[in-house]
Amino acid sequence: MGLMNGFQRMVSDLVESGSVDVTTASGADEQVEQAVSAPRERTCYAGFSTNKAGDVTGLAVSSFHQLAFAGSGAGKSRRLVVPAVSTWDGPVCAVSAKSDLAEMSAGIRARRGGPTYIMDLSGQADWSQIPDDVIRLSNDPCALLVPDDEGSTDDSALELANLLTKVSPGSNQNGGGDSAFWATLALGPLACILQAGGWYPDPETGEEVWGGGIDWVMKAIRDYGSDESDDGELDVHTPSWDVAAIRAELMGSEHAHKIAATKQLDARQLDSVRINLEVALSSWEKRAVRRGGGENGQAFTPSLLEDPKATLYVVSPLSGAAAGAAVAAIESTVEHWTLYAIKDKLPALHLVIDEFTQTAPIPGERLMSHVALMRSYGCHIMLVTQHSDMMKAKYGEATAKAIISIFPAMLVGIGAIEEEILKRAAWTEPPTERKVESFDNANRGSLASDRLEAIHPSELLPRDPSEGRLIIRGLPAGKVELLDYSKL
């Protein structure tokens, strides 16, 4: 099953310009051409649709969010993730466990003319295989704070603090018991210290100055400090809790008083809060995460993706050591789009996360909220993993089932024996009716009807790496062809 020259040109045009000339699809009749070329809502890449004869008829129509499954070695990066990143007409934030995603698609994205960034949280990116004009960025939570309409980062800092207490390695993700109590007490001080590490007004000049970022924060969380230096002058430089409170007061933060209130606890309780600060920021203990390959201290901020042709690659190792940092970057971007997409008419953003249960496990309740709401803000999500069982292991069976149920589109590739998902899809097909004729001893005939399932779930399983089964809103939408990106 192959593509004819005219269709190859269509795909080439898609990759180069981001627009699709569907009238070049080989073998398409006038009705199909009109249906495929009609304006439609922006959807995730899901390969190419085929007719009963197996001929390609055009791009498969998926939905605004998509969940994809394919086994290890099935080529999901080359056949799904790279094309999804390469063909999106708008900014892209792509997360993967290795730098190969950037190696395969950065050149294609760069030809659009927009800036291309990479944030290496693994310290293992092969820079020799990445175009020289790709800009290296660091991951600094202080730079991820999103100001509201009044310029305050209070809400953003509290949201980020809450997120980090849930997703960083060693955190209490299940949210129960004494650990949850101390994590809650740590939210205020953590929000205050994160703000203090960012921009604050100099007490003498009033000009905005950078507070030292995550390097300052990592020192400050371990020192309760004093609000005055030995000579009685106001200290706004020494990394400590007290200096963080002073900086927060200078910027008018509501979190400034949280430091003084928390310091009223007895020594053992105070240490419990401090330990939770260290746990929340444990992803940044690794030098690779703090630097991210960044040069000259340039840190990622969500506004960088406002450029319609911008691309951000995040390399987050499968070990999960950088998961907190990766999720923080994603969530700050989602927050930025929530605040400004409609008002400032931001371009449609595509979040593509490969092996998401390890590289960037967005908390379950947040993920469900994003699927329900982010379409309205022009933020489209594609999550890729090897099997739904990996979601159950990360989120628990009930939450994983809920996430799967609300995704508007799913793509099942080879190696993912998704029995439950395919059974539900097959069940939605109306049964067929079969007439059965029988005869009694007197050779008198009678007719009866028998209702049979229209599709057996095993019929929906892909049998080849180039095949995928697309399911839209629980209904089987047909088989799709997943081409290696090198053929596009």
Domain ranges of the chain: 5-139+292-417+461-487, 141-285, 429-460
Q: What is the DSSP letter of 80?
A: I
Condensed to tens digits (0 to 9), the pLDDT of residues 311-357 reads: 999 999 998 889 999 999 999 999 999 999 999 999 999 999 999 99
Q: What is the CATH number of domain 5-139+292-417+461-487?
A: 3.40.50.300
Q: pLDDT tier at 234 (50, 70, 90 boundaries)?
A: confident
* Sign of torsion over alpha carbons 412, 310, 297, 161: negative
Residue (of 142, 90, 154) closest to 328 by Cα position: 142
pLDDT at 38: 39
Q: Which two tokens stand for residue 58?
A: 């055009």
pLDDT at 455: 77
Q: pLDDT tier at 4 (50, 70, 90 boundaries)?
A: very low
Residue (of 462, 416, 390, 384) closest to 78 by Cα position: 384
For residues 247 and 13, which has the higher predicted lDDT (pLDDT)?
A: 247
Residue (of 40, 42, 59, 41) closest to 50 by Cα position: 59
Residue at token pair 């028998």: 450
Cα–Cα separations (whole angstroms), residue 112 to 14, 137, 275, 310, 311: 11, 20, 46, 9, 10
Q: pLDDT tier at 32 (50, 70, 90 boundaries)?
A: very low
Indicate the angle between helix axes 267-280 and 177-197, nearest 10 degrees.
70
Contact between 354 and 77 under an 8 Å Cβ cutoff? The reply is: yes
Give CA–CA dist 244/237, Å, rounded. 9
Give CA–CA dist 279/283, Å, rounded. 8
Q: pLDDT tier at 28 (50, 70, 90 boundaries)?
A: very low
Average pLDDT over residues 385-410: 95
pLDDT at 178: 59
Give CA–CA dist 409/415, Å, rounded. 19
Average pLDDT over residues 163-184: 70
Phi-psi group of 27: left, alpha or beta (phi > 0 → left; psi -120 to 50 → alpha; rest → beta): left
Mean pLDDT of the chain: 85
pLDDT at 6: 40
Cα–Cα separations (whole angstroms), residue 201 to 80, 148, 152, 264: 47, 17, 13, 27
Average pLDDT over residues 228-253: 86
pLDDT at 37: 42
Read off the pTM.
0.85
pLDDT at 460: 83
